[in-house]
Amino acid sequence: MNVRMESDSMGKIAVPADKYWGAQTERSRRNFPIGVGQEPMPSEVITALALIKKAAALVNRELLPKRMTQEKRDLIVRAADEILAGKLWEHFPLVVFQTGSGTQTNMNVNEVIAGWGNELAGRKLLHPNDDVNMSQSSNDTFPSAMRIAAVIALEDRLLPAVDRMILALKTLEAENEDVIKSGRTHLQDAVPIRFSQEISGWRTGLERDEEMLRALMGSLGELALGGTAVGTGLNAPQDFDTSAARVVSVLTGKAFIPATNKFHALTSLDELTAVHGVVKALACDSMKMANDVRLLASGPRCGFSEISIPALEPGSSIMPGKVNPTQCEQLSMVAVQVMGNDAAVSLAASQGHLELNVYLPVCIYNFLQSVRLLSESLDSFRERCICGLKADRTRMKEYLDRSLMLVTALNPVIGYEKAASVAELAYREGLDLRTACLRLGYLGEEELDALLDAEKMV
């Protein structure tokens, strides 16, 4: 392998000649061979850091024009734009499990921008620390990148996926407004319910989760930029924080402002923890929906079989003709992963010590994984299950007509005890409720017909 020699404050080190990264990236690459190829630093974080470097260069040109020349600014902006365009990705080799502040990944971005810019310039014009990292520290850029990445992922991926699912459920509700079926509590027969009402429970859960997400997401818009190493803003010019947040807002189309307290912003992950808690709540509601669909579709002859869902692939390597509710299973597994991720995010957030939290990479890794997996999972479940879900109206009516819990409608007329005796007689002797009640002499035929009308119970 061809190499070139790069140096940092610790001395010289050989770096692959065809890569733009420098000495600090190379040291991290060698020192943390943990999850290589499996747990890379999320691309969303690299993108967010590139946004910060571009914004910083633009702002430094305004506030520190003697240090940030126009030529330097233009090279940094051009290199950052290349990263934002999805290029240069082979130059970001670092993994999640590195320094807990994310310093090496911040330096990786600094070094790649400097290396690529210097190649364009034909000379060593850009320094990764002095120029690309001007007015910044890893301690304020990485937490800011975490928040930028989180907001973009939530607004551009998860919330649209939730909206698409809500719309699909509304369509399914409208299609089944006239379908009445037996409700179930404790997995036992219960009073009637419209199938559309059952679906509306799934929909409303997602709608509430979305409302909570939108209510809390504003807190993620506060950026630590301008706090530099410990929150005091050492080496950052006055108004850098306000100007940088404004430029990031323009570049992303999202709302970002300076953190009201930089000391808090550098060490606390409470906003990310709170928002991920709602992501977990969304995962819980998604699992509930998936499990309901799985139960209602169980069968086809020995289960509920109240609905049919698309048959996507053979379900068994030994049982011919078996088809399984695989979309329900994938959504359930993703929900389990998100719940586990929530524990990791929460534990990471609890580990802020003094002026810094050093569990940042693992926190944002789990946060972004939850958002990505849940977004993709909901879209797959919607497209491959919900949009093809059909009610078996005949089976639903059959169960409804056989349900003993219709007897609940007799409570106000004959009382709970007598109604219970009707149900017990019907169950014991295999009778329908109408026949059992007539045999016991509690009500006449016309009154029973009126009371046992399922349409009036929903």
Q: Which of 186, 286, 346, 421 is catalytic?
A: 186
Phi, psi torsion values for 188, nearest 5 degrees: -115, 160
Q: Distances from the Cα of 443 to the Cαs of 5, 159, 401, 402, in angstroms?
A: 97, 54, 19, 19
316 is a catalytic site residue: yes
264 is a catalytic site residue: no
Sequence-separated (6 or more) residues with CB below 8 Å from residue 122: none
Query: What is residue 306's three-state secondary structure?
Result: coil
Q: Which of 28, 243, 268, 316 is catalytic?
A: 316
Query: What is residue 188's three-state secondary structure?
Result: strand
For residues 255, 256, 261, 262, the Cα torsion angle rounded to the nearest 10 degrees is 160
320 dihedral zone (left: phi>0; alpha: psi -120 to 50; beta): beta
User: Which residue is it, tokens 């992922």?
Assistant: 153
- Between β-strands 307-308 and 257-258, what pairing exists: parallel, antiparallel or unpaired? unpaired
What is the residue type of 196? S
Q: Distances from the Cα of 391 to the Cαs of 60, 105, 180, 193, 330, in angstroms?
A: 62, 52, 11, 14, 22
136's tokens: 């910044």
Please enumerate, as own/partner, the contacts of 316-320 that have beta carbons within 8 Å and a separation of 24 or more.
none
Nearest Cα neighbor of 348 from 365, 334, 336, 333 is 365
Sequence-separated (6 or more) residues with CB below 8 Å from residue 393: 179
- For residues 275 and 281, what is the distance between their CA atoms, to the nearest angstrom? 10
User: Which residue is it, tokens 């301008």?
Assistant: 226
Which active-site residues does the annotation give?
A: 186, 316
